[in-house]
Chains A and B, each alone.
Chain A
Amino acid sequence: MEPEQAAAGKLPSMPSPVVELENVRKAFAMPGGETVAVLDIDRFALDEKEQVALTGQSGSGKSTLLHVISGIMRPDTGRVRIAGHDITRLGEAATDRIRADTLGLVFQQFNLLPGFTALENVLVAMSFGTGKPDRWRATDLLASVGLSHRLDHKPGELSIGQQQRVAVARALANRPRVVLADEPTASIDTAHQDQVIDLLTSTCAEHDVALLVVTHSPEVAARFPKRLRLEDFNRAAVHHG
């Protein structure tokens, strides 16, 4: 499918892998003029429905990797394919559309919109996708994460755990092919970490969605059948680790 087609409609199911990086390099210019390489990856892939925990030390480039995969940040070189689409060759608008339709993001700080209710936070995500915002589906998603009684509550009126659930429901709003979660347990206490991971893994499995969780916690990573260390395939992380 060409980029224009990708931008024009919902993407059909594509063969695995759903995320694929090849020869990706990303460096940042420092104020002093020095350039610091953050990503130097020959190959990285995430198959359909696969659930992977990606660990790495602080500053190893975990967040940058997620930004590159989601198209928020462009690599200096290399290819990033999402559901078969090379987003490094697409324009920004087409990348935005692929991000809306194919990827679901869960942030460390949840990043819910504070002025919107739980239901509206899910509906906002739907409004950027190809399909029309579906109030019933948004309600179902929130019910599936146990929040049917908190639909009209704003983030400030929800507990941390409930906010995280809204974030998970929002990530699934546009029937994505993969959910990217950036340190989803970093803001919650140890007692609730298992609940969040259970929620993510079970919900993604239920919706046939691949899951890539970035975490610095070995305990969290241990909950996943497949675990990767960023230092193992990111040469830049090795150099700085």
Chain B
Amino acid sequence: MSLFGIAWRTIRQRLLTSGLTALSLALGVALVVATLVIGNIVTQAFKSGSGLGYNMIVGAKGSPLQLVLNSVYLVSKPIENISWAFYEEFLPAASRPDGVAGTFAGSVQTAVPICMGDYFSGYRVIGTSASYFDRLTYGGGAPSGLPRWLGRLLGRSTAAAPPRAFAFAEGRNFRDDEFFGGVLGSEVAAKLGLKAGDPFAPTHGADDGLVHDPFTVTGVLARTDTPVDRGVYVNMEGFYLQEGHAKPVEGATAAKPMDHASGTPAPLPREQREVTAILVETVSLPGLPAELTAMALKTQINEGRDGQAAEPIREISVLLGLFVRPLELLLLLVTTLVVIVSAIGILVSMVGSSLERSRDVAVMRALGASRGQVLATVLIEAVILALGGGLAGWALGHVLVAAIGPLITTNAGVSATVLSAAPTAELLLVPFLIALAILAALMPALAAYRTDVAKWLG
């Protein structure tokens, strides 16, 4: 019988104690893994803005971070609105009523307006144009989680993936002339059980606000694992026609929406329109880096009085530095404590059973086992418990992440599955934890090493 066999039978002999020891380690590792993975998911969620298809957000003057959080992540409140006239400064000549290109049009490749303030069953309603889904993209950036780790392991490129165009799981994008058409993010459709052709009526300002006219779902987006999944996108022409959405202008009559079922309603006059933000993709001018164009445009906008320009990537990195990194440090501290507690658990358990073990060790020594062999047996026992508990905990951690995945998706707009991972941290921490558990077993192992055979044999 090998030393491994002896250690294994000793574990079976003390099944309850051994099981509880492994379970305590498994729970510790599971907590560590879940914490690491969720931390990684949240970080990746904020970094996912790199493939948005726009590199600048223009909105009312105020906090640029708030502007980004509101426009990209659909959290926080909008700052204020900006005028339609200011929005038109980003449009080319062909899109303007006066036939003259806007002030910033030369630096702009795409400008998509968004209007916010309404809700539908707890989800944000965003009034926008069809170009949102026709021109913008999502995704991009380096792959995360298991795919990235596997990529590294297999020596495959983990370079940034190209941004992807929006795809529809069902139906299609609304047309600009479909004033009461709307597109639902995948999570919204799944949670609310809506499909193409279904009506839905947003509410004003909050879920219990004034109920607006119904829109019709023209399409449901395929899952993007971005905040878009939890957005309700409606044609902004229909959005403008809702009560309380027209900017009060002296002398102007508030637009009354026509019955959209019986004909095309009249659009809201330009002077009564406002937008919450403009998603801008700057042009890449020949011979000039795109960043330089963006920087020049940003400076030009920010020097004016009409609004501010914010770069999502920059703001996100400020956010990461201000909040996420310290949070990660805190998580690391917590996980370190968990690791230590787990190791102490192993120690307490093995020391606790050392009295019971001493007699067996004495018998084995009397049968001719060397001190080294009994030391090795106890260490092998610890390795089996640590590996078993550690690997079970590692799997359990991922199951935990998958279990709370829907909650993460709701709050961070990214998917969390059993394959979500924090590869580097996991590869370092899990073996470290197992090693620590084995280290903790050294004390009872040394006690076995020093067992007084004559004393225990009586």
Determine which of B10, B13, B364, B458 lies in contact with A128 in the assembled complex, contact meaning CB atoms within 8 Å.
B364
Q: How far is the CB of A92 from chain B (nearest CB, A)?
A: 7
Asked if B371 CB lies within 8 Å of chain A CBs, one says yes
Asked if A123 CB lies within 8 Å of chain B CBs, one says yes
Stretch at the interface among A40-48, A100-108, A191-199: A100-108
Total A-B pairs, Cβ < 8 A: 82
Q: Are B368 and A111 in contact (CB under 8 A)?
A: no
Asked if A127 CB lies within 8 Å of chain B CBs, one says yes
Chain A 99-132 interface mask (CB, 8 Å, partner B; 1/0): 1110101011101111110001001111111000
Q: Are B1 and A67 in contact (CB under 8 A)?
A: no
The answer to whether A109 and B458 touch (CB under 8 A), given A115-B10, A133-B1, is yes
| CB-CB nearest in chain A for B6 | A124
| CB-CB nearest in chain A for B2 | A127
| CB-CB nearest in chain B for A129 | B368
The answer to whether A126 and B366 touch (CB under 8 A), given A107-B457, A114-B13, is no
Q: Which residues of A contact B458 (CB under 8 A)?
A: 63, 108-109
Separation of A114 and B373 alpha carbons in the complex (Å):
19
Q: Are A97 and B457 in contact (CB under 8 A)?
A: no
Q: Are B1 and A123 in contact (CB under 8 A)?
A: yes
Chain B 1-39 interface mask (CB, 8 Å, partner A; 1/0): 111011001101110000000000000000000000000
Asked if B170 CB lies within 8 Å of chain A CBs, one says no
Q: Are A70 and B366 in contact (CB under 8 A)?
A: yes
How many residues on the A side are at the interface (Cβ–Cβ under 8 A)?
34
Q: Are A128 and B454 in contact (CB under 8 A)?
A: no
| CB-CB nearest in chain A for B14 | A115
Asked if A238 CB lies within 8 Å of chain B CBs, one says no
Q: How far is the CB of A58 from chain B (nearest CB, A)?
A: 13
Separation of A114 and B13 alpha carbons in the complex (Å):
8
| CB-CB nearest in chain B for A170 | B367
| CB-CB nearest in chain A for B369 | A128
Q: Are A115 and B369 in contact (CB under 8 A)?
A: no
Q: Are A96 and B1 in contact (CB under 8 A)?
A: no
Interface residue ranges of B100-136 to A (CB < 8 Å): none
Asked if A73 CB lies within 8 Å of chain B CBs, one says yes
Separation of A99 and B366 alpha carbons in the complex (Å):
8
Separation of A125 and B5 alpha carbons in the complex (Å):
13
The answer to whether A72 and B6 touch (CB under 8 A), given A115-B14, A126-B1, is no
Interface residue ranges of B351-381 to A (CB < 8 Å): 359-360, 363-373
The answer to whether A120 and B368 touch (CB under 8 A), given A111-B457, A113-B360, is no
Q: Which residues of B contact A93 (CB under 8 A)?
A: 370-372
Separation of A93 and B369 alpha carbons in the complex (Å):
9
Q: How far is the CB of A108 from chain B (nearest CB, A)?
A: 7
Separation of A113 and B456 alpha carbons in the complex (Å):
13
Separation of A114 and B2 alpha carbons in the complex (Å):
18
The answer to whether A120 and B457 touch (CB under 8 A), given A99-B366, A126-B1, A174-B368, is no
Q: Which residues of A contact B360 (CB under 8 A)?
A: 113-115
Q: Are B453 and A128 in contact (CB under 8 A)?
A: no
Q: How far is the CB of A101 from chain B (nearest CB, A)?
A: 7
Q: How far is the CB of B110 from chain A (nearest CB, A)?
A: 72
The answer to whether A96 and B365 touch (CB under 8 A), given A72-B457, A107-B457, A133-B1, is yes
Interface residue ranges of B391-425 to A (CB < 8 Å): none
6 A-B pairs within 8 Å (CB atoms) are namely A96-B371, A97-B368, A115-B14, A116-B13, A124-B367, A127-B1
Q: Which residues of B contact A (CB under 8 A)?
A: 1-3, 5-6, 9-10, 12-14, 359-360, 363-373, 453-454, 457-458
